[in-house]
Amino acid sequence: MARKTIEQRLAELDAQRSALKARLSKTERNNDMRRKVLIGSLVLHQLETSDDQEFNKQLGDWLRRELPGFLTRDNDKVLFTDLIGAVQPGRAESGDGGQGAP
């Protein structure tokens, strides 16, 4: 069995480092998506079940005010017609997934 050269060992370590960085990046993206889903679930749960009518009114007013500007794709806006009303087709279709400009 031949020993690996230092260069070979360094190349293997670089490959392992790259693989670990990719896993970390994927984990961070997954955690970010999970946070967004959970906060959205909390907001929807609050709107559907809370007895605090004043808070629900304020939250609903805020969503109706902010969502139309945040959601840039018509197919995303359709998901929230119960909160923001009917979609006006063709307005600001940027294709950025509703995330706004970087």
pLDDT in tens, 32-79: 999 999 999 999 999 899 999 999 999 999 999 999 999 999 999 999
User: Is residue 81 predicted with pLDDT exceeding 60?
Assistant: yes
CA geometry: angle at 61 spanning 33 and 88, to 5°?
A: 75
Q: Where are the beta strands (DSSP E) in the chain?
A: none
How far apart are the C-alpha atoms of 44 and 34, rounded to whole Å?
A: 15
Give the mean pLDDT of the chain. Answer: 86
Q: Are 77 and 68 contacting, i.e. CB atoms less than 8 angstroms apart?
A: yes
> Per-residue pLDDT averaged across 5-17, rounded?
97
CA geometry: angle at 29 spanning 36 and 32, to 5°?
A: 25
User: Is residue 102 predicted with pLDDT exceeding 60?
Assistant: no
Q: How confident is the model at residue 85 (pLDDT cuts 50, 70, 90)?
A: confident
User: What are the sequence ranges of the domains in the chain?
Assistant: 7-49, 52-89
